[in-house]
Structure 1
Amino acid sequence: MLSIMGFLTIAIFLYLILSKKVSVIVALILVPVFFGLFTTDLNSLGAMILEGVTSVAPTGIMLAFAILFFGLMSKAGLFDPIISRILKLVKGDPLKIVIGTAIIGMVTHLDGSGASTFLITIPALLPLYERLGMSRLVLAGVVALSAGTMNIVPWGGPTARASSALGIDTATLFNPLIPAMIAGLIWVLFVSYYFGKKERNRIGIQNFQYDFNQELSEEEKKARRPKLLWLNLLLTILTIVALVKVWLPLPVVFMVAFALALVMNYPNPKEQQERITEQATGMVTVVSIIFAAGIFTGVLSGTGMIEAMANTLVSIIPESTGSFMGLIVAVTSMPLSLVFTPDAYYFGVLPVLSETAANYGVAAENIGRAAILGQMTTGFPLSPLTAATFLLLGLARVELADHQRFIFIWAFGTTIVMTIVALITGAIAI
């Protein structure tokens, strides 16, 4: 009975969000509460909900202040010299321009936000591509590969969702994947070299200089803090080191880093409030989903529905296949980005896969790491289910079908490369 209720909960949840009948937050809250009423008493249900929300609170806080911190650093102009320097070095060589595009995409995606990456990178580079007659598909594709691979960072959506859904600390999920992520980024540079070589052969090298600063608006220039560049860079490096080394809990690291960055760059309280307000919409949306997800996973776990569903799946899956669950999840993670939204996959599918794998001795963190190697990481800039994809396509002025045909195999290749390295390093075990 519990198994049936669990599958019904997930099925209705998936139907509601994939058909866009209600918002993700509404579905995450109301669907489990409704079915929870049929599986437990009201007091127990309330306790499960509170426990679920409490369990995701650290992740929600970390995401909130990570968005604020990196948004502030971008506004202050931390990435501007890197972008300007790369554009000066590439000149009119298509090969250097495409490799430079990849590096710029990686740097600007440090904040874990696809929308901000595309808004910074595409408008800055599109005039250069058009002036030299380079392919806009190459621009969109390379930025997609860079942003997708960088989206594995702990404050990116997929890792945060996996952490919330499985109740595993983000550092536990992310740190073992660092070698795999580095391998993925190297692969992206290799693919960029390949594309750049083809573009160079097609249009040749031209004598041309491009000034990134001319593309900034007056308002953007006013908010820049060039004199604080090195101090901002030092603070960012210390923040990233503190995150990887876990000197303090991840939410605390970002809270302290953001407060320091705000005082350093914008000592005026009015300006501080303006910077916070600029990031508020994106921050509130993401954090609200995380807390709503706590209700979803809290009810499904507390009532025993997840365990019951896993037992049902165990009775179906051949035992010889069970130990390879991590590998199967990793290989299928990127293509499934085209089918499931991140919320549907991480909150609806991943917990069941994890509990099923546990019956074969596969730890939950293995399944979580396998999922984030492709599901809405390398896959998100190709998925028709994410708004950021259409922002990328609109800014670069390319069609979804053309974009998918052009870059899918290379994005899938990124996941395969990272999966191989993750297996070698033991981040994913079989």
Structure 2
Amino acid sequence: MLVALGFLMVGLFMYLILSKRATPVVGLILVPVAFGVAAGAGLGIGDMITDGIKSLAPTAALLFFAIIFFGIMIDVGLFDPLVSFILRLVRNDPARLVVGTAVLALVVSLDGDGSTTFIIVTSALLPLYLKLGVSPVVLTVVAGLANATMNILPWGGPTVRAATALGVSPSDVFVPMIPSLVAGLIIVLLFALHLGVMERRRIGALVFESERVLVGASSGGSGSGAASTGAGGGGADAGDDEVTGRFIDGLDPNRPTLRPKLLWFNAALTITLLTVLVIDILPIPVLFMIAASIALAVNFPQVKEQGEAIARHSSSIVSVVAMVFAAAVLTGVFQGTGMVESMASWLMGIIPPSLGPYLAVITGVLSIPFTFFMTNDAFYFGILPVLSETAATYGIEPVEMARASITGQAVHMQSPLVPAILLLVTLAGVGLADHHKKVLWRATVVSLTMLVVGVLLGQIPFG
């Protein structure tokens, strides 16, 4: 019963989101509540949801104040020089911009925190996407893939969880998987290059068509070749302004929120924040709360200005925090009703003994959908130990099972249960369904590539 309800709940939720019949917030709340009641939770569903909210409250606080902090840094002009520098490097080439997005995301992801990566990448590069007319969905896909692939770093989370759950060393899990990580990163860069080339062709075709229409209209109106050229040139400039309007607004050199005299202070504050974040001496939500308060007080000393600064980013704050708390409903019901444990036990029961020697590879494959539909904690501490115990009867070591289990992270990080990806799509102004349609199959390719390389190099046993 619980198994069927669990799979039906997941299937209905994904259908509603991908078909755009419900927003993520509505789907994440109403679907789990309905299925939780059907599972016999009764009034206890309130405690389940409350437990889920408690577990995600620190994340909500982190995202709330992180959006405020980096929003202020954008307002005051901290990233303007960086954006201008990157613009000179990409030379108005969409392909270079998209590949540059992947490289920047890979580098920033070394800190192990997806939220920070997405805030920095989006803040620096989204204006360029808008200027060149490149789809922001491409940004979320490339940044999401790059960060997700790097998520198997020992300090990223899943590797430590897998090692802890099975009682093995994180280094024994991660180091042999470095070739798989490299292979995954190569696939990400190839996807970025392909998407960039496709955008270059699309934008080039649009510009050509626009100029052809404008020149044709001008020729018909003036009857003069010279006049036609002039009008056509003017029309093209107007079209460029329309495409780049949001970019010009975002980097307006005369916007009233600029604080050029505080550039070095804001840069030092940001660097200090990121340094302390990596050192991990204080909880990340606390760091962003303190940093956001300092940024507000120094850059906008007047109370009215501080209120306006927060209000400018209120839409992003409300959207992402609402989705975080909504995700807590799905997490709470999944775990509180026992659906996760039931689904794991059912899965183990349907695996025939003849497939026992292949349990490591099966675990790698299962990690793709399982970590998408549940938290890493639920998978690594609830399901992986059961799989590993069964695999041990076929001579498969726990460390080998741990390596296989982390290959699904490229897909996991695209899950609506991951707050960082909700932050990414919110900042980029992209619908979660639009992001999923382009990213999920690519993330699956990355995960399977990492699994196959691990098998070929003998780090993950096959048979």
TM-score (norm 2): 0.59
CA distance in 2 between counterparts of 1:409 and 1:296 reads 23
Match in the other structure for 2:50? 50
CA distance in 1 between counterparts of 2:284 and 2:276 reads 8
In the TM superposition, what is the alpha-carbon distance from 1:63 to its structure 2 partner? 1.4
Aligned-residue CA RMSD (Å): 5.5
Match in the other structure for 1:3? 3
CA distance in 2 between counterparts of 1:53 and 1:418 reads 34
The one of 328, 333, 343 equivalent to 1:299 is: 333
Which structure 2 residues correspond to residues 151-190 of structure 1 after superposition, within 5 A?
none
Q: Relative to 1, partners in 2 of residues 1:352 and 1:315: Cα closer, same or farther, differing over 3 Å?
A: farther
Q: Relative to 1, partners in 2 of residues 1:271 and 1:372: Cα closer, same or farther, differing over 3 Å?
A: farther
Which structure 2 residues correspond to residues 399-418 of structure 1 after superposition, within 5 A?
none
CA distance in 2 between counterparts of 1:183 and 1:220 reads 45
Deviations 1:148-191 (A, max 9, x none): 5257899xxxx99xxxxxxx9xxxx9xx89x9999978987798
Q: Is the 8 A contact 1:56 1:294 kept in 2?
A: yes
Q: Is the 8 A contact 2:142 2:192 kept in 1?
A: no
SS in 2 for 1:315: helix
Q: Relative to 1, partners in 2 of residues 1:184 and 1:72: Cα closer, same or farther, differing over 3 Å?
A: farther
Q: Relative to 1, partners in 2 of residues 1:103 and 1:234: Cα closer, same or farther, differing over 3 Å?
A: farther
The one of 254, 267, 281 equivalent to 2:301 is: 267
Residue 120 (str. 1) matches residue 120 (str. 2): no
Deviations 1:284-308 (A, max 9, x none): 1111111122122112211211110
Q: Is the 8 A contact 1:28 1:292 kept in 2?
A: yes
Residue 22 (str. 1) matches residue 32 (str. 2): no
Which structure 2 residues correspond to residues 350-369 of structure 1 after superposition, within 5 A?
355-361=382-388
In the TM superposition, what is the alpha-carbon distance from 1:193 to its structure 2 partner? 9.1
Letter in 1 for 2:285: P
Residue 283 (str. 1) matches residue 320 (str. 2): no
CA distance in 2 between counterparts of 1:224 and 1:368 reads 47
Match in the other structure for 1:33? 33
Match in the other structure for 1:221? 255
CA distance in 2 between counterparts of 1:92 and 1:9 reads 45
Point out the more displaced range, 29-38 or 282-291: 29-38
SS in 1 for 2:256: helix
Match in the other structure for 1:373? 410
Residue 240 (str. 1) matches residue 274 (str. 2): yes
CA distance in 1 between counterparts of 2:79 and 2:182 reads 20
Q: Is the 8 A contact 2:69 2:291 kept in 1?
A: yes
Q: Relative to 1, partners in 2 of residues 1:387 and 1:196: Cα closer, same or farther, differing over 3 Å?
A: closer
Q: Relative to 1, partners in 2 of residues 1:286 and 1:320: Cα closer, same or farther, differing over 3 Å?
A: farther
CA distance in 1 between counterparts of 2:279 and 2:291 reads 15
Residue 322 (str. 1) matches residue 359 (str. 2): yes
Structure 1, unaligned runs of 5 or more: 127-135, 161-167, 200-211, 337-341, 394-399
Letter in 1 for 2:344: A
CA distance in 2 between counterparts of 1:47 and 1:72 reads 37
CA distance in 1 between counterparts of 2:140 and 2:71 reads 19
Letter in 1 for 2:314: A
Letter in 2 for 1:360: L
In the TM superposition, what is the alpha-carbon distance from 1:120 to its structure 2 partner? 1.3
In the TM superposition, what is the alpha-carbon distance from 1:85 to its structure 2 partner? 3.3
Q: Relative to 1, partners in 2 of residues 1:368 and 1:265: Cα closer, same or farther, differing over 3 Å?
A: farther
In the TM superposition, what is the alpha-carbon distance from 1:104 to its structure 2 partner? 7.2
Point out the more displaced range, 50-59 or 362-371: 362-371
TM-score (norm 1): 0.62
Letter in 2 for 1:223: T
Q: Is the 8 A contact 2:407 2:448 kept in 1?
A: no
Q: Is the 8 A contact 2:2 2:342 kept in 1?
A: yes
SS in 2 for 1:14: helix
SS in 2 for 1:222: coil
Letter in 2 for 1:359: V
Structure 2, unaligned runs of 5 or more: 109-114, 158-164, 201-243, 389-397, 416-420
Q: Is the 8 A contact 1:239 1:257 kept in 2?
A: yes
Q: Relative to 1, partners in 2 of residues 1:68 and 1:349: Cα closer, same or farther, differing over 3 Å?
A: same
CA distance in 1 between counterparts of 2:441 and 2:42 reads 49
CA distance in 1 between counterparts of 2:305 and 2:124 reads 23
CA distance in 2 between counterparts of 1:375 and 1:222 reads 41
Q: Relative to 1, partners in 2 of residues 1:261 and 1:420: Cα closer, same or farther, differing over 3 Å?
A: farther
Q: Is the 8 A contact 1:114 1:388 kept in 2?
A: no
Letter in 2 for 1:121: L
Q: Which structure has the bigger radius of gyration?
A: 2
CA distance in 1 between counterparts of 2:405 and 2:8 reads 23
Q: Is the 8 A contact 1:150 1:377 kept in 2?
A: no
Which structure 2 residues correspond to residues 108-147 of structure 1 after superposition, within 5 A?
110-112=117-119, 119-125=126-132, 145-146=142-143
Match in the other structure for 2:221? none
SS in 1 for 2:282: coil
Letter in 2 for 1:81: P
